[in-house]
Amino acid sequence: MTWIYKINSAKKFGLFLFGLCLISILMYKASLSKTLTLYDQNQQLAEKVARVENAPEQIKKLSAELGRIDDVLQRTKSGSGINQMEAFDYLSDLTQKHQLVVRKYPKPVVNMEKGLNVETIEFTVDGTYRNTILFIQEVEKSLKAGKIASTRFFTHLDIQSRKPSLYTTIYLQLINSAP
């Protein structure tokens, strides 16, 4: 212990700080690291409990959505589903309402999947961007024309006016039960 008396005060202070750091690290390893880990686990479990408490509400929402889907499927199975002519009539009325011109309406593609007929109707309209967006919005809200699967906007140079025109190709899907 005589070596301590021979060290000057600056070195004593440095040894004191080194010892203090060593003790702090050991205390952190012994207790604080476990405490922080437990705190993180507690936060994660609290989030899971909050999700579990909301589970009955989510089940009710999903049940209502499932009931709505079942109603739509029942309508299609009972023969009151949407057919291509009804969709065409509805879409032509909407295009007139929104001042759009139908440029292409080819024959629909029919696929059989899991007991259902999936008809994909592709049609192209010409008009302003605003009117086209309003048209798409109204078709999406309505169940009369089917479900919009995809849209594609492109410009085409009109030869007569030499100005670009906005064309929009819309893909609708009609789902009916297979006969």
Which residue ranges make up each domain of the chain? 8-53, 81-177
The 3-class secondary structure across the chain, one letter per residue, is: CHHHHHCCHHHHHHHHHHHHHHHHHHHHHHHHHHHHHHHHHHHHHHHHHHHHHCHHHHHHHHHHHHHHHHHHHHHHHCCCCCCHHHHHHHHHHHHHHCCCEEEECCCCEEEEECCEEEEEEEEEEECCHHHHHHHHHHHHHCCCCCEEEEEEEEEEEECCCCEEEEEEEEEEEEEEECC
- Give the pLDDT of the chain (179 residues) as one tens digit per residue: 566 677 788 888 888 899 999 988 888 777 777 788 888 999 999 998 888 888 888 888 888 888 887 776 665 544 445 566 777 788 888 889 988 888 887 787 888 877 777 888 888 999 889 999 999 998 888 877 778 889 999 998 878 888 888 899 999 887 776 66
Question: pLDDT value at position 74?
Answer: 64
Q: So what's the pLDDT on residue 84?
A: 66
What is this structure's pTM?
0.51
Give the pLDDT confidence score for residue 92 in this predicted structure.
Answer: 85
What is the CB-side half-sphere exposure of residue 153 using CA atoms within 13 A? 11
> Residue 83: what pLDDT?
63
Predicted pLDDT at 130: 92
Indicate the fold that domain 81-177 takes in CATH. Answer: Alpha-Beta Plaits (3.30.70)
Per-residue model confidence (pLDDT) at position 1: 58
